[in-house]
C-alpha cells in the first residue's frame, strides 16, 4: 500500500492540493474497526487510518488508492462521498505487476497536477495457518518469499521520470518490522524471542530485503551481518532496471512497529503527560512487546509527515 501525500513540512497539517495514497492491497490482515476502518486496504483489511484519512480528505487532500479489488469500498458509506467527489481515486492494480503501477503513478500525477507528495507503503503478506503443526515446526511460510521486497522494488523502479529529481521526489513512508535485524532481535523481551524466532523468520527475511534495497537507494550504511537470502534479493539486484542508484532516493522514512495488535489508539486518549507510545530513531527500544495499528497510523499522519525534516532518512521504531 502506498500513500503519496501533499504535505507542507512547516505545517502540522497536510495542506497542499494532493495526497496520493497508493494503496497496494496485498492480503494483509488489517481488520476493520469503527475508529480507523478504511485507509490502505479494504474495509476488512485495513491499516486502521480511517480517522487520519478522513481528516486529510476534509483538508482538501486527494487520495489515490491502488487496489487489487477496487470494489472493497462499495459497501463503505464513509468512503462514498470522497469517491463521488473525486477526493478518493481508486485504481485497480497489483504491486507484483509493474505495468499496473505505471497506471497508478499516472493517475496520481493527474490528481496532483504533476506532483506526488507522499507515498505510504504498507504491503504485507497474508500467512496461511492451514496446518498449525507445520507452522509451529517451520514457521509462517510466505508465498512468494519476496512478496514485500519485490513490491517495493517495483514501486520504486516504476517511479516516473518527472518524479526522479531530488526536488520532485515523493516522500516515501515504508512499514517494515521491529526485531528483524540482529541488533533489534537481541533487544526483544525474552518471552517474545521464541515467537519471533519460530514463527516470523520468513516475513522478517522479506522485510529485511526491503530495508536492504532501500539502504542501497538511500546511500545509507548496511550491517553486513544482516544477510538477505537470494530468494528475497537475487544476486545482481542492484542493477534492476529503473532502480535508483546509490544515494539517489532522498526522501524516505522507515517505520518499524513492534508486534501488531488491533487495540485502541492510545494517542487519541491524551491522558496525562506520558507519551502514548515509545519511539526511537537512534537506538534500541528494549522491553517493547506490541503496538496498536492505530497508534502506528497516528505516528505516520500526526507526527512523521508534519515533522518530516526530523525523520527523513531514518528508521523509526515504535511500540509500548
Residue 21's pLDDT is 40
pLDDT digits (tens, 9 = 90+) for 179-203: 998 889 888 889 898 888 888 888 9
Any idea what the Cα angle at residue 176 is, between residues 293 and 93, rounded to 5°? 85
> For the chain, which ranges sit under pLDDT 70?
1-57, 59, 126-140, 271-272
pLDDT attached to residue 124: 81
Domain over 50-319 is classified CATH 3.40.50.720: yes
| pLDDT value, residue 285 | 86
Note the pLDDT of residue 28. Answer: 28
Q: How far apart are CA 5 and CA 26, in angstroms?
A: 20
Q: HSE (CB half, 13 Å, CA atoms) of 58?
A: 8
d(CA 196, CA 26): 22
Residue-range domain boundaries for the chain: 50-319
- Do residues 158 and 93 lie in contact, with contact meaning Cβ atoms separated by under 8 Å? no
- The residues near 209 (Cβ < 8 Å, ≥ 6 apart) are 146, 148, 149, 228, 232, 233
- Return the sign of the alpha-carbon dihedral for residues 283, 203, 308, 242: positive
pLDDT of residue 243: 98
The pLDDT, as a whole number, for residue 133 is 63
232 grid coordinates: 528475497
The set of cell numbers assigned to 238 is 542492484
Which residue do the cell numbers 518530516 mark?
Answer: 308
Note if the pTM is more than 0.75: yes
Looking up cell 507445520 gives 134
Amino acid at each position: 500500500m502506498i500513500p503519496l501525500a501533499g504535505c507542507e513540512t512547516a505545517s502540522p497539517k497536510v495542506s497542499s492540493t494532493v495526497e496520493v495514497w497508493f494503496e497496494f492491497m496485498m492480503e494483509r490482515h488489517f481488520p476493520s474497526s469503527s475508529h480507523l476502518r478504511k485507509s490502505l486496504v479494504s474495509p476488512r483489511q485495513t491499516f486502521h487510518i480511517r480517522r487520519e484519512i478522513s481528516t486529510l480528505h476534509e483538508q482538501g487532500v486527494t487520495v489515490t488508492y491502488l487496489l487489487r479489488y477496487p470494489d472493497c469500498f462499495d459497501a463503505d458509506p464513509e468512503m462514498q462521498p470522497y469517491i463521488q467527489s473525486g477526493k478518493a481515486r481508486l485504481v485497480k492494480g497489483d504491486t507484483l505487476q509493474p505495468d499496473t503501477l505505471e497506471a497508478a503513478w499516472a493517475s496520481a500525477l493527474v490528481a496532483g497536477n504533476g506532483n506526488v507528495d507522499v507515498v505510504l507503503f504498507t504491503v504485507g503478506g497474508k500467512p496461511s495457518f492451514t496446518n498449525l503443526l507445520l507452522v509451529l515446526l517451520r514457521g509462517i511460510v510466505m508465498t512468494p518469499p519476496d512478496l514485500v521486497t519485490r513490491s517495493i522494488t517495483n514501486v520504486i523502479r516504476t517511479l516516473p521520470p518527472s518524479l526522479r529529481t531530488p526536488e520532485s521526489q515523493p516522500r516515501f513512508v515504508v512499514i517494515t518490522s521491529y526485531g528483524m535485524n540482529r541488533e533489534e532481535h537481541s533487544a526483544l523481551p525474552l518471552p517474545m524471542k521464541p515467537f519471533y524466532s519460530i514463527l516470523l523468520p520468513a516475513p522478517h527475511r522479506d522485510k529485511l530485503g526491503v530495508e536492504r534495497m532501500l539502504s542501497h537507494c538511500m546511500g545509507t550504511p548496511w550491517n553486513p551481518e544482516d544477510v538477505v537470502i537470494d530468494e528475497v534479493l537475487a544476486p545482481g539486484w542492484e542493477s534492476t532496471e529503473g532502480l535508483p542508484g546509490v544515494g539517489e532516493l532522498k526522501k524516505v522514512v522507515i517505520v518499524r512497529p513492534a508486534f501488531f495488535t488491533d487495540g485502541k489508539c492510545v494517542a487519541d486518549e491524551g491522558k496525562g503527560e506520558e507519551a502514548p507510545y515509545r519511539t526511537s530513531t537512534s537506538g534500541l527500544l528494549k522491553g517493547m512487546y506490541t503496538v496498536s495499528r492505530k497508534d502506528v497510523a497516528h505516528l505516520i499522519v500526526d507526527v512523521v509527515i508534519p515533522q518530516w525534516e526530523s525523520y527523513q532518512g531514518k528508521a523509526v521504531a515504535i511500540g509500548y
